[in-house]
Amino acid sequence: MASSAQPPAAAGGVGPDGGSLAGGGETFADRSLSQGLSVLVGLGLCVTMLGLGCAVELGQLGQQLRRPVGLLLALLGQFVAMPLLAFLLALIFALDEVAAVAVLLCGCCPGGNLSNLMSVLVDGDMNLSIIMTASSTLLALFLMPLCLWIYSRHWINTAVVQLLPLGAVSLTLGSTLLPIGLGVLIRYRHPRAADLLVKISLWSLLVTLVVLFILTGTMLGPDLLAQIPASVYAIAVLMPLAGYALGYGLATVFKMPPHCRRTVSLETGCQNVQLCTAILKLTFSPELIGSMYMFPLLYALFQSAEAGLFVLAYKMYGRDSYKQDALGEEEDTDISYKKLKEEEVADTSYGTVTTEEHSSIQMEPTQTAL
């Protein structure tokens, strides 16, 4: 393993793959560019968290707390399955300490807002999706630093792990509670404004990621992308795909209906890459993290593409069966209702029952006006 490797700062500008960071770390250290990216990342994260809070309704939150299936699934998916998956991938691909920390950080992040949008496109359970995203974000305040501390033990003797700013990670997570709380308040008092802010936050998510990718890819040059090892690209492809599969399997174990399985699948594989980017940008020095700043952006690219393929496959092959199942349920309900009405009509339209003195029962036909 790379436990004896030195971080970029201590290796005289050596990148995660052993190459020079002359075109990456030095440009990242540029003060004006670094501050501009920090402001963009911070604003994007605040808008995203505000939109997440606007999507939460207090009534639904109370119901989930009384029957906390969504909370349990968020806990198992985001802070058991995904961190373990990130750790195993880092070991399998023999990543050095800088790349491993970037992968672990992404794997320990809570769910992202992209899953809410994708759940709508696959006819998922939106209430479950929102509750899982919100609860995993709140749980991350305590569990994300804990997961990072546990899984970084393998690289504990390296400088980058010894300098891992768990306090700064917690502070960044804590700062997200304010826009989330504000969003919940707006939803409670101004539902229409909250609906608008949810839409704005989803567009902000997409625009921010595109802008960040263009800025880091264009302004820092293609040399930066070339410095990222092929193994990191492979993990960026495999990790969200494996997360979707783990989420679907987890929902199957809980014997959830198909539309809930699709929801849990997307919730597990979609990470809050904006939060991951913010933590990498705001808590690590540019010289230390180097080109690994790009990993959450690569993850966002591939998680979106794979989720898009998931949606496309559902639209082509799964939507018809979903409609048939829903239609079948409606038809069964209509048939039962019709039979009940026919029985009621038959009982009342045949005639009236009268009782005479000698305890005889006689049917008198009812005259129907034409």
pLDDT per position as a tens digit, 56-107: 777 766 676 677 788 899 999 999 999 999 999 999 999 988 899 899 999 9
Task: List beta partners, residue 353.
Answer: 363
| Residue-wise DSSP of 180-240 | HHHHHHHHHH-HHHHHHHHHHHHHHHHHHHHHHHHIIIIIS-HHHHHHS-HHHHHHHHHHH
Q: Looking at residue 355, what DSSP letter applies?
A: E
Kindly report the CATH class assigned to 40-318: mainly alpha
Element (DSSP H or E) covering residue 353: strand 351-355
Dist. CA 183–CA 47, nearest whole Å = 10
Dist. CA 133–CA 128, nearest whole Å = 9
pLDDT value of residue 97: 87
Name the one residue in this structure whose structure tokens are 């359970």. 125
pLDDT value of residue 8: 41
The structure tokens listed for 358 are 């000698």
pLDDT value of residue 268: 94
pLDDT value of residue 218: 64
Dist. CA 334–CA 321, nearest whole Å = 20
Task: Quick: pLDDT tens for 155-192.
Answer: 877 767 766 767 767 777 777 778 888 888 888 888 88
Q: What is the pLDDT along the chain (370 residues), one digit of tens a residue?
A: 444 344 443 333 444 343 333 344 454 445 555 566 667 777 777 887 888 878 877 776 667 667 778 889 999 999 999 999 999 999 999 998 889 989 999 999 998 878 887 888 888 888 888 888 888 888 888 899 899 889 988 887 776 776 676 776 777 777 777 888 888 888 888 888 888 888 888 777 777 777 777 766 665 556 666 778 899 999 999 999 999 999 999 999 999 999 999 999 999 999 988 888 888 877 777 777 777 778 888 898 899 889 889 989 898 887 666 555 555 444 444 444 344 445 444 444 444 444 444 444 455 554 544 4
Give the HSE-up count for residue 170: Cα atoms under 13 Å, Cβ half-sphere: 11
Domain edges within the chain: 40-318
Say which residues have a Cβ less than 8 Å from residue 300's Cβ, sequence separation at least 6. 114, 209, 213, 273
